[in-house]
Amino acid sequence: MDLLLYLPARATKPAPFLLNLSFSANSNTVDDPGVRVGAVWGPDKKKIPASQGRRFGKIDVVRLLDAGFGFGTIYYGDIDPDFAGGLPYGVRAQFPEPKADEWGTIAAWAWGLSRAMDYLETDKGVDSKRVAILGVSRLGKTVMWAGAHDTRFAMVIASCSGEGGAALSRRNYGETIAHLTAPTRFPYQFCANYGKFAEHVDRLPVDAHMLVALMAPRPVLLQTGDKDFWSDPKGEFLAAVAAGPVYRLLGKQGLDVDQMPAAGTAIFHTVGYYMHSGGHGTIPSDWDQYLKFLQMHLRVPEAE
């Protein structure tokens, strides 16, 4: 796994840090000619140069550094490939074959984030008590799972995580368990038992509000788009609201509203919710909100 790491040059103390899980190699994720060209999974289950792979936009690292935050990014395919039949090519091949209640690729990617955290705890330039994680779409699901499993992560920012992430399964709206676990789609991303609830969502013993609540008392921001109906922004909002009692129990503030905010209006407590005007994924203006939420909860006080 190739971890690209930046730290603020003017920092006099360990810096708070944002760790990003990316759909592309590091060389495609940042605008830095000094980063070596990575490799990504291409057709026929083979690696190809990142320059030939898909691009998903660059992250403005300098803006984060100027705000006093370190930044790191990892290509998710370095951990486990994102295709059916990928088990022999990723980290899970080093372990016994998963049983029906054991990890799929999302759990493997989350495990990889924890291994990156192992390293960050050794880096004297990083404040390992203030590390946030960020992921979009299926990687939004991943950071939710990583945050639930590993309390060393101080914050989770999940973009458009949808079904299997922050959206309530029992709404059966947009993308559903049946969609995710259909043989031609993404059953490999989850434990095999997940598919048993495809047609029986009412029997699912958990739901997304419990996943959100597992972050408590740590901050969590759910970001989505008001037109991203496939990911169900209302289902994510309702899950955030329903996680509130756990946050209050632990002395923190949940979302504490009962009406969905309009697009462009952020609700930032310990639980945060924000919709941009538009569809799936992250747009440049979302980074304004990410930075506000990071500064609200993880900023180094000036006295330090």
Which are the catalytic amino acids? 137, 280
Contacts of 178 (CB under 8 A, 6+ apart): 198, 199
Angle, alpha carbons 176-231-151 (nearest 5°) = 95
Structure tokens at 166: 């922050």
| Packed helices 105-120 and 138-149: angle between N→C axes, nearest 10 degrees | 60
Counted residue by residue, the chain has a size of: 304
- CB within 8 A of 259, min separation 6: which ones? none
Burial call 148-159: b when 16+ CB within 10 Å, e when fewer: bebeebbbbbbb
Distance, CA of 181 to CA of 77 (rounded, Å)? 20
**Phi, psi for 104 (deg, rounded to 5):** -105, -165
For residue 284, the Cα-to-chain-centroid distance in whole angstroms is 17
Rounded distance between C-alpha atoms, residue 16 and residue 279, angstroms = 30
Residue type, 276: H
Starting at the earlier edge strand, list the strands of the sheet with 126-136.
4-6, 70-75, 15-22, 126-136, 155-159, 220-225, 271-276, 267-268
> Which SS3 state, helix, strand or coil, does residue 250 take?
coil
Q: What are the angstrom distances between the C-alpha of 5 and each of 8, 16, 65?
A: 10, 12, 11
In this structure, the number of other CB atoms found within 10 A of the CB of residue 242 comes to: 18
- Would you state the structure tokens that stand for residue 38, as one six-digit string? 């990575």
